[in-house]
Amino acid sequence: METPFKKLLVKLYIVIVITSLLSGCSMIEAPFELPNQCSLTVNVNSDEMCSLFFGDTKILEWSGPKRIDGLIWGIYRLKVTKSNFIYWEETFLLTAGENISLSPPTDLVFVQGGTFTMGCTSEQGNDCYSDEKPSHQVTLSDFYIGKYEVTQELWESVMGSNPSYFKGSKRPVESVSWYEAVEFCNRLSDKEGLQRAYSGSGANITCDFNANGYRLPTEAEWEYAARGGKQTKNYKYSGSDNTGAVAWYDGNSGDKTHAVGLKQPNEIGIYDMSGNVWEWCWDWYGDYTSPSQTNPKGPSSGEYRVLRGGGWIIYARYCRVALRVSGMPDGRSSSNGFRLARTR
């Protein structure tokens, strides 16, 4: 039977373990039998910084991939940053004797939630179209969004084929319909052991925004991320007022797509949200309304789905962060692709 004194010793041992980790010392042997110790493997790139917390206490900090042995059971939090941007945080439970491996979501950037003005704002000048009005306040919860557009390499690894007109493993996949993008999200979720976000078929497809699997961003999430989230500098395009600095469009593309990530990123480290390929969003296309909204998902029904960002084939005005167009969900074009999102 566990006595109050033994419980106190366990708590004391936990404090000693945390202190030893903070000081870089080796583990101290417990004076009594404790649950089996655990290990954690973190699979990140060498330029990514990791912080491990036990409760509210930071116990370790390092860069690159690492295996950590001798951890006690309990609830931990891992925070991963790159270029000073937090792009992945995960809270997890280590149970007695457990050895787990954690990998960051597939090239996703963490976007801290907040409130922004969506639609035709002052930096858009006289370029706004009527469907960008009225501008309105939107509040979003935290989410993740693709650092890059989905590449042909990733698509082929999941779907087994490559429909793109402009071939290249690091180029964005294109010539995919909205339906095919949704199917890809579900298959990638299956592959990584995550919950499917989508169910149903055709016009009756629904999205479970509480699932931890991959999905398309909502139109509001897309625009908030394109504007730079809470770090926004209110640029006309995603990351700059200079189209050529951030976008492949008809003025510099040479009439073709280009490998992702070659232009400069926006304020939160996301690439190609202006130009290269148009990007499918979750929402049905419809008119904006004035009232402020929280986590909007767009109209409940419609004929067309939203596309954002402009592309290699179109002029600069269409690469603005507020610009929106519509497309048939079963339509395919060599200028249409997408990027991933996740709720958690």
Mean pLDDT of 144-153: 96
Query: Which residue among 72, 104, 136 closes a domain?
Result: 104
Mean pLDDT of 255-259: 99
pLDDT of 22 above 70: no
Quick one: 43 and 73 in the same domain? yes
How far from 227 is each of 88, 240, 269, 280, CA to CA, in Å?
A: 20, 10, 11, 17
Q: How far apart are CA 75 and CA 56, in angstroms?
A: 10
Please report, for the domain that includes residue 29, its CATH number. Answer: 2.60.40.10
Which has more confidence, 11 or 283?
283
Q: How far apart are CA 98 and CA 231, in angstroms?
A: 39
Q: Percent of the chain scored above 70 by pLDDT?
A: 88
Question: What's the confidence (pLDDT) of residue 85?
Answer: 64
Quick one: 14 and 74 in the same domain? yes
Is residue 3 very low, low, confident or very high in pLDDT (cuts 50, 70, 90)?
very low
47-58 per-position pLDDT tens digit: 889 999 998 999
Is residue 100 very low, low, confident or very high in pLDDT (cuts 50, 70, 90)?
confident
Quick one: 205 and 298 in the same domain? yes
Quick one: 38 and 169 in the same domain? no
194-216 per-position pLDDT tens digit: 899 999 999 999 999 999 899 99
Mean pLDDT of 84-95: 80
| Terminal-residue alpha carbon distance, the chain | 40
269-327 per-position pLDDT tens digit: 999 999 999 999 999 999 999 899 999 999 999 999 999 999 999 999 999 999 999 99
Q: 192-219 burial, b if ≥16 CB within 10 A, otherwise e? A: eebebbbeeeeeeeebebebbbbbbbbb
pLDDT of 84 above 90: no
**Tally of domains within the chain:** 2
Mean pLDDT of 227-254: 98
Q: Which residue bears the tokens 């961003």?
A: 217
Quick one: 74 and 204 in the same domain? no
Is residue 40 very low, low, confident or very high in pLDDT (cuts 50, 70, 90)?
very high
Please report, for the domain that includes residue 253, its CATH number. Answer: 3.90.1580.10
Contact between 260 and 170 under an 8 Å Cβ cutoff? The reply is yes
Quick one: 85 and 185 in the same domain? no
Quick one: 185 and 330 in the same domain? yes
Other CB atoms within 10 Å distance of the CB of residue 27: 14
Q: Which domain holds residue 187?
A: 109-342
Question: What's the confidence (pLDDT) of residue 118?
Answer: 99
Question: Average pLDDT over the chain, rounded to whole?
Answer: 90
pLDDT of 150 above 60: yes
151-195 per-position pLDDT tens digit: 999 999 999 999 999 999 999 999 999 999 999 999 999 988 889
Quick one: 153 and 239 in the same domain? yes
Is residue 102 very low, low, confident or very high in pLDDT (cuts 50, 70, 90)?
confident
Quick one: 327 and 314 in the same domain? yes
Quick one: 219 and 256 in the same domain? yes
Quick one: 186 and 263 in the same domain? yes
Lowest mean pLDDT among 29-33, 233-237, 241-245, 281-285: 29-33
59-76 per-position pLDDT tens digit: 999 999 999 999 998 999
Question: What's the confidence (pLDDT) of residue 83?
Answer: 66
Q: Are strands 278-284 and 336-337 parallel, antiparallel or unpaired?
A: parallel
Is residue 31 very low, low, confident or very high in pLDDT (cuts 50, 70, 90)?
very low
Lowest mean pLDDT among 86-100, 106-120, 122-136, 285-299: 86-100
pLDDT of 260 above 60: yes
Query: Which residue among 73, 104, 135 closes a domain?
Result: 104
Question: What's the confidence (pLDDT) of residue 32?
Answer: 42
Quick one: 198 and 321 in the same domain? yes
Query: Which residue among 104, 121, 147 closes a domain?
Result: 104
